[in-house]
Chains A and B, each alone.
Chain A
Amino acid sequence: MKPLAMILAMTLAATTANAQHDAASETAVVAGGVYRPLFPATPAEKEIAVHAFRMDRTPVTNAEFLVFVGAHPAWRRDRIPPVFAEPTYLAHWSAPDALGQAAPNQPVVNVSWFAARAYCGARGMRLPTEAEWELAASGQTREEIAALYAGPMVLRDVGQSRPNRAGLYDMHGLVWEWVSDFGNAVLAFGSGSDRLRFCGATGASASDATDFAAFQRVAFRSSLRASYVVRSLGFRCAGDV
């Protein structure tokens, strides 16, 4: 049982650690509002009220994550338990404690949900909920967003896009981003419902069957498990106001 105790300790330590630095200038306050999920979990959840919250203006970068791993070596790729991340965790870095060719200001990818959550916890923050993320990412037309999704993935430095109306950068078109409740079953290691796993007939039950960009995000999230790492998947942190 000793290793299990270690995992619990890691999780608790990460969650309760003091914020490493003042993140106020790096975050923006997103006004509260109403989020209408593509697939409401229940009829009562057609509309979800979201309180105002703050959110990182940009996705977390390689350089930032390197600092975190230095301060919390349990999250190094050579020490993380496999239950917390797949073998390709941080595989784009040259070493467990060095970026090598990985650009410092590009978003960190190849990170699991557990690691992303721990990073935010170490800053006294948390991952945004799906409702928060979607609300924060709204404001562009679906055509604009779909165009940003078109074409192959190309990583570049964060903060190069125009900020959206909430003052956030790179919400669409750079990397996918973890949310705390992806697939709504994170404690069971994440598994989207079957209806999202084959969506031939699910348009009829969607709140808006024409929002293909939203479908793409929901489909992507539902394909994940919490230990998965993906080359196009990063994250940013959120916190209460």
Chain B
Amino acid sequence: MRVHLAFSIVFGVTTAFAASSPIWLDHSERNPAEPAIVSAEQTDAPAVPSPIHRKKPTRVVVDIEVKEVVAPIAGDATYTFWTFGGHVPGQFIRVREGDTVELHLKNAPDNKMPHNIDLHAVTGPGGGAPRTFTAPGHQSVFTFEATRAGLFVYHCAAAPVGMHIANGMYGLILVEPKEGLPKVDREYYVMQGDFYTAGGYHEKGLQAFDMQKAIDEKPTYVLFNGAEGSLTGKNALHAKVGERVRLYVGNGGPNLVSSFHVIGEIFDRVYREGGTTPEENVQTTLIPAGGAAIVEFTARVPGEYAMVDHSIFRAFNKGAVGTLVVDGAPNPELYSEKSKDSPYFGSAAPAPAPSHDDDRAAAGARVFASTCAACHQAQAQGVPHVFPPLAGSDFLMADKERAIRIVLGGLNGHVTVNGQTFDSAMPSQAHLSDDEIADVLTYVRSSFGNSGDAVAAEEVTAKRAAGTPTVRAQ
């Protein structure tokens, strides 16, 4: 090294060379009048660096190592990702409006390709790409002022640019406004990208990039955070009921525009395209390729929320799905349990009143299926301790008139059916017509192991005329 320095000093020709090239000299040339230097906090997705509380801009050093890595893309399929920092998406960079960013781009020695970085937070031709074009085993330093607040995409722009992006070379840089962003309880980093593999969806083994699929814009995968499953299962995001959640959502592309949606949430606020003025009460927000959005919502109901590209085949068939798990107490006023589930026959439903008993039984079967089976079950066997059986039921068959009154008025209190005690409530079914009640009772009393006579519509009419109070069991 001493020999090298001697040469550098002696030669005019080498001096010119040195002035135009060696990055390792930059630190020694720093102007002491420049503001203090801090290292940016950088995080791998889905983590986000802490909010910045500095009151003044400063000089921030961002250090990124480009690594070409083989990693799983889905199931047993692997892919050669080109990455900013070892993962897709690249590390989240958080700086403050007005900061001077000193960006060190290092191209790992074992990489095959030259790379660079174009940050959409940069004002200047190429967004920094021509200043950071770097061969493997080399590094570049480039400085820019983050003049505008917002959430910005960065990506590699080395030729062929689409391939570098398709291989995963993108990430987000947040330029936090001077006044900061409103405080929230959780912040996460999600970035979508489309991938083009030679093999089909879930085809095993190391998958090569498919140039033609990329040109045709027909991705094999559409993924959040660079791999199927990177935001589901044990990798799901978490929040608690009552917490405010902020997602920094980017879209690297290279081709597709994202219709970003969280199933079961309405965004309180969306900073559309990462800009300054938020919109409120948004269902789905469009995120362009090479764009980003900040979305905020409040977790109110516990459960699992799917994050999707609502161009929904991408979620169902190409991997674009993540999960947010919300823990906490249920909120039935906002979101109830399922209160009813019963068959529905649409316009093909039951026919006009039948004229004799067999027809009555057939019509009764339809009424039974649509009205009774949800509780008493399809074979009328009931549910132990909850819903009494009608099949072979001593209670039902003991008193035809009581059966009519129960259907009309409902039943409350203890009943003993075939030796088993039940204590629940059956609602009145008085909305059924007299014919329908006659039909269903005729059907039940002559089916499921029961053997009883038919119930006539007139019998029901008489009971209804006498009033339909809830039957109180003894």
- A residues engaging B (CB < 8 A)? 3-4, 81-83, 87-88, 142-143, 146-147, 149-153, 176, 189, 192, 194, 196-200, 202-203, 210, 212, 215-216, 218-220, 222-225, 227-232
With A3-B10, A87-B4 already in contact, the answer to whether A219 and B158 are too (CB < 8 A) is yes
Query: A199 touches which one: B113, B127, B137, B159 (CB < 8 A)?
Result: B159
CA of A10 to CA of B133, assembled, Å:
32
* Distance of B444 from chain A, by nearest CB (Å): 69
With A82-B14, A200-B129, A219-B114 already in contact, the answer to whether A151 and B80 are too (CB < 8 A) is yes
Q: Which of B1-24 contact A (CB under 8 A)?
A: 1, 3-4, 7-8, 10-11, 13-14, 17, 20-21
CA of A202 to CA of B127, assembled, Å:
15
CA of A198 to CA of B114, assembled, Å:
11
Write out the residue numbers on chain A whose beta carbons fall within 8 Å of the beta carbon of B17: 83, 189, 227
B116 at the interface (CB under 8 A from A): yes
With A153-B110, A198-B118, A223-B135 already in contact, the answer to whether A83 and B208 are too (CB < 8 A) is no
* Distance of B112 from chain A, by nearest CB (Å): 5
CA of A3 to CA of B160, assembled, Å:
42
Write out the residue numbers on chain B whose beta carbons fall within 8 Å of the beta carbon of A82: 3-4, 7-8, 14
Are the C-beta atoms of B137 and A83 separated by less than 8 Å? no
CA of A216 to CA of B215, assembled, Å:
16
CA of A182 to CA of B135, assembled, Å:
13
Are the C-beta atoms of A212 and B211 separated by less than 8 Å? yes
Question: Which secondary structure dominates chain B's binding surface?
Answer: mixed
Are the C-beta atoms of A197 and B133 separated by less than 8 Å? yes
Given A198-B161, A199-B161, 19 more pairs with CB closer than 8 A: A81-B7, A83-B11, A151-B70, A151-B80, A152-B70, A194-B130, A198-B157, A203-B160, A216-B160, A216-B163, A219-B114, A220-B112, A223-B133, A223-B134, A227-B17, A228-B137, A231-B109, A231-B137, A232-B112
Are the C-beta atoms of A83 and B7 separated by less than 8 Å? yes
Write out the residue numbers on chain A whose beta carbons fall within 8 Å of the beta carbon of B158: 197-199, 219, 223
Residue of chain B at shortest CB distance from A79 = B3
Q: Which of B27-77 contact A (CB under 8 A)?
A: 68-70
With A87-B4, A197-B133, A230-B136 already in contact, the answer to whether A153 and B14 are too (CB < 8 A) is no
Query: B208 touches which one: A150, A192, A199, A215 (CB < 8 A)?
Result: A150
B472 at the interface (CB under 8 A from A): no
* Distance of B148 from chain A, by nearest CB (Å): 20
Write out the residue numbers on chain A whose beta carbons fall within 8 Å of the beta carbon of B3: 82
Are the C-beta atoms of A219 and B113 separated by less than 8 Å? yes
With A229-B137, A232-B136 already in contact, the answer to whether A223 and B114 are too (CB < 8 A) is yes
CA of A103 to CA of B218, assembled, Å:
43
CA of A149 to CA of B211, assembled, Å:
12
CA of A197 to CA of B161, assembled, Å:
10
Are the C-beta atoms of B209 and A150 separated by less than 8 Å? yes
Residue of chain A at shortest CB distance from B165 = A200
Query: A225 touches which one: B21, B112, B126, B211 (CB < 8 A)?
Result: B21
Residue of chain B at shortest CB distance from A220 = B114
Residue of chain A at shortest CB distance from B198 = A147
* Distance of B288 from chain A, by nearest CB (Å): 15
CA of A114 to CA of B7, assembled, Å:
16
CA of A219 to CA of B116, assembled, Å:
11
CA of A151 to CA of B208, assembled, Å:
7
Query: Considering only CB atoms and an 8 Å cut-off, how many residues of chain B contact the other chain?
Result: 47
B204 at the interface (CB under 8 A from A): no
B206 at the interface (CB under 8 A from A): yes
Are the C-beta atoms of B4 and A220 separated by less than 8 Å? no
Are the C-beta atoms of B14 and A83 separated by less than 8 Å? yes
Are the C-beta atoms of A198 and B113 separated by less than 8 Å? no
Which 9 A-B pairs give the minimum distances between C-beta atoms?
A199-B159, A198-B129, A223-B114, A82-B4, A150-B208, A215-B160, A197-B133, A223-B135, A198-B126
Query: B110 touches which one: A4, A146, A152, A197 (CB < 8 A)?
Result: A152
Residue of chain A at shortest CB distance from B80 = A151
B402 at the interface (CB under 8 A from A): no
With A215-B159, A228-B135 already in contact, the answer to whether A146 and B14 are too (CB < 8 A) is no
Write out the residue numbers on chain B whose beta carbons fall within 8 Å of the beta carbon of A4: 11, 13
22 CB contacts below 8 A, A to B, read A3-B10, A146-B209, A147-B198, A149-B112, A150-B80, A150-B206, A176-B112, A194-B130, A196-B159, A197-B133, A199-B159, A199-B160, A200-B129, A202-B159, A212-B163, A215-B163, A216-B159, A216-B160, A219-B114, A219-B160, A230-B109, A231-B137
CA of A239 to CA of B348, assembled, Å:
87
Are the C-beta atoms of A198 and B7 separated by less than 8 Å? no
* Distance of B113 from chain A, by nearest CB (Å): 7
Write out the residue numbers on chain B whose beta carbons fall within 8 Å of the beta carbon of A198: 116, 118, 126-127, 129-130, 133, 157-158, 161
Write out the residue numbers on chain A whose beta carbons fall within 8 Å of the beta carbon of B157: 198-200
Are the C-beta atoms of A197 and B130 separated by less than 8 Å? yes
Write out the residue numbers on chain B whose beta carbons fall within 8 Å of the beta carbon of A196: 133, 159
B238 at the interface (CB under 8 A from A): no
Are the C-beta atoms of A230 and B70 separated by less than 8 Å? no
Write out the residue numbers on chain A whose beta carbons fall within 8 Å of the beta carbon of B209: 146, 150
CA of A229 to CA of B161, assembled, Å:
24
With A152-B70, A197-B116 already in contact, the answer to whether A231 and B211 are too (CB < 8 A) is no
CA of A81 to CA of B13, assembled, Å:
12
Are the C-beta atoms of B208 and A147 separated by less than 8 Å? yes
Residue of chain A at shortest CB distance from B209 = A150
Write out the residue numbers on chain A whose beta carbons fall within 8 Å of the beta carbon of B385: none
B414 at the interface (CB under 8 A from A): no
- 1/0 contact trace for B141-183 toward A, CB 8 Å? 0000000000000000111110100000000000000000000
* Distance of A221 from chain B, by nearest CB (Å): 9
CA of A231 to CA of B13, assembled, Å:
26
Write out the residue numbers on chain B whose beta carbons fall within 8 Å of the beta carbon of A189: 17, 20-21
Are the C-beta atoms of B113 and A220 separated by less than 8 Å? yes
CA of A81 to CA of B130, assembled, Å:
29
Write out the residue numbers on chain B whose beta carbons fall within 8 Å of the beta carbon of A87: 1, 4
Are the C-beta atoms of B137 and A88 separated by less than 8 Å? yes
Write out the residue numbers on chain B whose beta carbons fall within 8 Å of the beta carbon of A153: 110-112
With A82-B14, A152-B70, A231-B109 already in contact, the answer to whether A200 and B161 are too (CB < 8 A) is yes
